[in-house]
Amino acid sequence: MSTEILAPAAALAIWSMIMLFWMAGTRFPAMKKMRSEKGSSGMVSKSRAGGRGQDLEGLIPDNVNWKAHNYTHLMEQPTVFYAVVIIHAIVGTSQLDLWLAWAYVALRVAHSLWQALVNTIPVRLMIFTVSSIILLMLSIHALIATI
């Protein structure tokens, strides 16, 4: 088993948890502020008991919601990355695949930081596209190794 390829997956999992805590650390104060402002102005909020995070869209500042959007993104495409990395760990991996895996993680972190802090679409799309191409390459290599 080639366990060194699991390190980038572990790093991305840690990064996902960092984004979770960053999201919570910005959302909870924004929600508290929203509730206190609602109480003083008498405005009715769209948020409700048992609601979902997406119910906060338009109620708390966009730059606060960006962290939540990114956390959601880290639960989407990277799931393919985790599966591909496990395949590589089982069937063996090359130095190239290890570098590609680390490049994917670096780009996902860059994507997270860009989305959470700046969030302009052209740059974010470029980072996403390059990371997707790297994931495609890793996926093709995993397929070739298994057939």
The predicted-structure confidence for 46-99, as pLDDT tens digits, reads as follows 555 655 666 666 668 788 889 999 999 999 999 999 999 999 999 999 999 999
- How much is the pLDDT for 31? 79
Q: Decide: 67 and 19 in contact? Cβ < 8 Å.
A: yes
Amino acid 42: pLDDT: 46
- CATH code, domain carrying 141: 1.20.120.550
Domain count, the chain: 1
Distance CA 46, CA 33 (A): 15
Q: What is the mean pLDDT of the chain?
A: 89
Who contacts 119 (Cβ-Cβ below 8 Å, separation ≥6)?
Answer: 62, 63, 66
Does residue 75 sit in helix, strand or coil?
Answer: coil
Task: Find the domain containing 8 and state its range.
Answer: 3-146
Global pTM value: 0.85
Number of other CB atoms surrounding residue 27 within 10 Å? 18
Could you list the beta-strand ranges (E) of 26-127.
none
